Chains A and B, each alone.
Chain A
Amino acid sequence: MIPDTLVPLAVLLTSFITGIAILLLGEDRVRLRTVLNLAGAVLKLALVMLMLWGVFHGHAYQTRIPFLPGMDLVLRADGMTILFASLSAVLWLLTTVYAIGYLEGAPHRRRFFAYFSFCVTATMGVSLAGNLVTFFLFYEVLTLTTFPLVVHRGTEKSMKAGAVYLAYTLGGSALVLVGMLWLYTIAGPFDFTETGVLGDLFAQHRIALTVIFFLLMLGFGVKAAVFPFHAWLPAAMVAPAPVSALLHAVAVVKAGAFGMVRVVYDVYGISLCDEEALLPAFMVLAAITILYGSLRALAQDDFKKRLAFSTVSQVSYILLGIAMFGPMGTIGGLVHLVHQGIMKITMFFCAGNVAETLHLHKISELKGVGRRLPLTMGAFTVAALGMIGVPPLAGFVSKWHLGLGAIESGHPWILAVLAASSLLNAAYFLPILRTVWFDQPDTPWPAPEGGCRLEASWWLLVPPLATALLTILVGLLGGSVLSPIHWAYLVVGREY
């Protein structure tokens, strides 16, 4: 058995070592690379599940490494960590499976899978970080390791998109860095603590700490694609489907959102934020982003681009939940961190399948695709209905708690925003479902390659089906101990 102090480190190392090993292997060692990838992912999932069990039973997992004088790197698992880490571990395993199928026969797979592993290492670091320095360190590593994935195709368009991505995210990081250093000059070194660490300090440094709050939140907001810092996300659509899936569901946007969660709950403390009226501005910003993203999604004909703008809109639900003062809102926001990931990754898997098997990229070309790819499109349908908020799917559980939070915190206008957003979601997702299932294709679809009995290979089919099933289960088993919503209740119980 691994001692509790080493578990967080081991979680990081499973993917880091996998990445190094893949780099050392030759480009053509396909089978060994596949085994390594899967073994790493499964091992990590097992470790995260171990932590989940432990945290549930009150274990403390913490790794502390001296870094700078007075500043340690701290890795540890609390309730919020588990929420983010188990999402990442589950989805990484599925995305690895998917990527192996998706990139079959493509060039530069060694580079791809190595950076893929480093990217997940960084994501895990973000979720396990026990203080702001550690968080920032992994947050930056994440930016740098996703860049090669975004530009993986190497085309001019993807290089351009990569440049936009870097400009935005590094700009955001700069804001975070300034805010963080400034905060350290005032508060000294500190670890993330439930209900916050600032306390009385705020009264002494009111203006400075207010400015810092905005610096940190806006800085993290860039990666969370909050309006008006969202333009990099639709541009980054040029990346291969598994990367988009990971970018949108787990790694990048969620790291930003998770950063905001940490700042509000574990640095400033939600009660302080509420007393000092730091939150309403972000509630309005979230509402604007939610509606803006949906409106822009309406106008897209490119399949992945419509999904990208939908992400812009959906990730801000998390911010909305954070910015509402009240347990229900927080629960809604936190659980959406998980739920949005499950649903959105399903959609990107499906978009990838459509692109890979039929070479279709536009929604107007999808007439009758449901007949050719029934399982893929079935999974997509579940995810889309979930996004709209059809009960009892994942998205409904989030929206329901956000709605309760809105009433609880005395902002019933948020209900109107939620309703408008749901109607807009329906307006841009339901036409896809209609054309896919009801329209007749203009020309008959080509038969599956290689006389395959299935619509696509198992590698490409299992991940979307699994995540679609999860979309249903997290809602259907909402009341059970295993559901994300139950964890959200658990975590929030400690923050208020």
Chain B
Amino acid sequence: MPTWLALPEPVHHALLVLAPLLPLLLALLGAHAASARWLVRTAPLATLPAWLLVFAGPAERAWPDLLLGLVLGIDLPRSAWLVLTLLLWTCATWFGVTYMAHDEHRRRYQFFLLGAMSGNIGLILARDPITFFSFFALMSLMSYGLVIHDGRPGSLRAGRVYLGMALLGEMLQFAALGLLFFEPAAAAMSGSGLTIDQLANRDLSASTIGLLLAGFGVKAGLLGLHMWLPMAHPVAPTPASAVLSGSMIKAGLIGWMTFLPLGSAAYPNLGASVAVLGVTGALMAALAGLLQTHPKAVLAYSSVSQMGLMISAVGLGLIDPATGKLTLWIVLLYALHHGIAKCLLFLSVGLRTVRPMRGFETTLFWSGTIFAAIALIGAPFTSGAVAKSHLKYLVKDSVWIGAPTLGLFLTAAAAGTTILMFRYLATLRRLQPDPHHTAPARILLPWLVLLLATLAATPAAAGWWAKRGGLPPAPMLDALTLLLPLLAGAVLYALITRALRLDTRTEPVIPPGDLVAWLHHAWARIQPTRPAAASVAPPAPPSFSAHPALARLARLEGTLSRWATGLAAIALAVLLFAAMAWWTGS
């Protein structure tokens, strides 16, 4: 990691703390009404210390008095994650300054957005497990406020599912991190002061790996744990959706990269299941996404699909240590490509609703959006082509017996992405602009920055990381291989759209959140029917607190206190006393 900006050591270390802390401080300041107005405008500047950190070279510092031994640091791979994260956060919050300017609750939005930003930056810099876990939790909890921002019933339901699954993920991570401390060869008995390097990246037991995979898999949208994602991402305000789907979703991957022993040990069975889960998720999400009617829901499923590809790459890395070393960099490259393109596509949805466009602007908007879409598909000469070539290289390089099949499925998933992007463009075209909003032209600036990044960032990073980091020199796939999924996807899209009459539907065939939504319907069906409420109040959401089992517990409790348990205890005591007297007497 080169140093472009030489800083005195104390300043450098202060920046390590300030990078995650400044957004959090601004979030808290914003809760105070008087300072809220100028804070809403300056939110993108909260990323400034973290940006400086990117250019200031490697650093690490421990503060043993803080937390259970706080260690923060930055090295080359982390600075790469940080660049991706900061780029998206800066553009999305910048976009939000204009986009959310007339929102009734923009102070609240600002609070949760900055809080989540703090968590996202902090977890990249964390070098000890407790700090990582803390920032991860901060990000997850703050995002809840973004998901339920508009307060509609659908958002509240999405928020409940999101929070439930996020907390489940936290619990699994908690157990996994606990087990890490007791892995063989763990350092001496001490609950604190151990860095991630001392704990992880060693030969871990399968149960620890499993818990790590599931715990961070919730955030990464691992198949079976992904249901919250298509529910929560679309309902958040658009700038928040963009960072949720572009950046925060990657925190799960960062967790895996941080704790899994990629490149130092082999886990053939676990790795194979992860690879299969990943690619299955990629295909199924493509199908489910096709059946959506809102462009943001289509994009959310596309995120699940794209994450599936990255997850299967992690699976390959677990199978074989030789591949594992490459996995980190290839996944990083893919995440960069996907994050930027996805963020831009989300902002396009926002632009479409608040910015009435005509003439050159319309041309620019559609060509930019379509370019990002075909980049995501992986057409030749786009960032997708670079990322996909590296992914294919990883598959070819793998010793796993299933790798060739996986390669085929990856191509199928690319066709799935094509279908999704067509669907996205179709739904975006049908989206009606919001007549109440006419955003000024400056709202286009962050979008343009992202467009430039879509063009240049991934190829530039690939060249650079190949030279400085550990990215393998993957040969570019030929145009035919890249175009095949595009053509196949286009044909399939035309056929399916015709068959299912998708053009005329206003309700999604599969509700966002698939499994959870179905479970919800099933649950509603087996519930005893309640008498219809007389008022027009919306039906109460199914709640734990009204469950009959809890009422039964309450009755038991009543019995307990009626029995005057205390008196019974005294009687027991007297009996025991008699027994004791007899005992000691004899």
Contact = CB atoms under 8 A, between A and B. Distances in A.
Interface of A: 164, 166-172, 174-175, 177-178, 182, 185, 208, 211, 215, 222, 228-229, 231-232, 235, 292, 295-296, 298-301, 327-328, 331, 374, 378, 385, 389-392, 396-397, 399-401, 403-404, 406-408, 415, 418-419, 422-423, 426-427, 430, 434, 438, 475-480, 485
Interface of B: 31, 63-70, 130-131, 133-134, 137, 141, 148, 151, 163-164, 167-168, 170-172, 174-175, 178-179, 181-182, 189, 191-193, 544-547, 550-551, 553-554, 557, 560-561, 564-570, 572-574, 576-577, 580, 583-584
A479 B66 contact: yes
8 contacts: A169-B566, A208-B580, A229-B569, A385-B141, A390-B141, A438-B151, A477-B65, A479-B67
A438 B70 CA distance: 33
A178 B134 contact: no
B554 A422 contact: no
Contact of A170 (B172, B570, B577): B570
A164 B580 CA distance: 28
Contact of B550 (A178, A296, A404): A296
Contacts, number: 163
Of the candidates B148, B170, B565, the one having the most CB atoms from chain A within 10 angstroms of its own CB is B565
Given A211-B576, A415-B175, A480-B65, A423 B151 contact: no
Contact of A171 (B65, B561, B570): B570
A419 B175 contact: yes
Which secondary structure dominates where chain A touches chain B? helix
A260 B174 CA distance: 28
Given A167-B566, A185-B584, A299-B551, A408 B182 contact: yes
A343 B101 CA distance: 38
Given A430-B163, A477-B65, A228 B560 contact: yes
Contacts of A211: 576
A434 B567 CA distance: 42
Given A215-B576, A301-B545, A426-B163, A415 B178 contact: yes
Nearest to A482: B65
Contact of B167 (A185, A400, A422, A438): A422
A392 B182 contact: no
A295 B569 contact: no
Most buried by B among A292, A299, A374, A396: A299
Contact of B193 (A406, A407, A418, A479): A479
Contacts of A485: 68
A478 B178 contact: no
Contacts of B66: 476-480
A476 B576 contact: no
Classify the secondary structure of B's interface with A.
Answer: helix
Contacts of B551: 299
Given A422-B167, A480-B65, A400 B544 contact: no
Contacts of A215: 573, 576
Contacts of B134: 391-392, 396
Contacts of B31: 374, 378
B565 A392 contact: no
A295 B550 contact: yes
A361 B172 CA distance: 35
A488 to B, nearest CB: 10
Contacts of A475: 67
Nearest to B136: A391
Contact of B68 (A208, A295, A327, A479): A479
Contacts of B192: 478-479
Given A174-B570, A228-B560, A400 B178 contact: yes
A390 B137 contact: yes
B440 to A, nearest CB: 30
Given A171-B567, A390-B137, A419-B174, A404 B130 contact: no
A478 B190 CA distance: 13
B191 A331 contact: yes
Contact of B557 (A169, A231, A378, A426): A231
B225 to A, nearest CB: 15
Given A391-B134, A426-B167, A295 B174 contact: no
Nearest to B577: A178
Given A164-B561, A175-B573, A403-B175, A296 B553 contact: yes
Contacts of B554: 296, 299
Contact of A178 (B151, B553, B580): B580
B179 A407 contact: yes
Nearest to B65: A480
A79 to B, nearest CB: 18
A171 B568 contact: yes
B175 A231 contact: no
Most buried by A among B134, B178, B192: B178
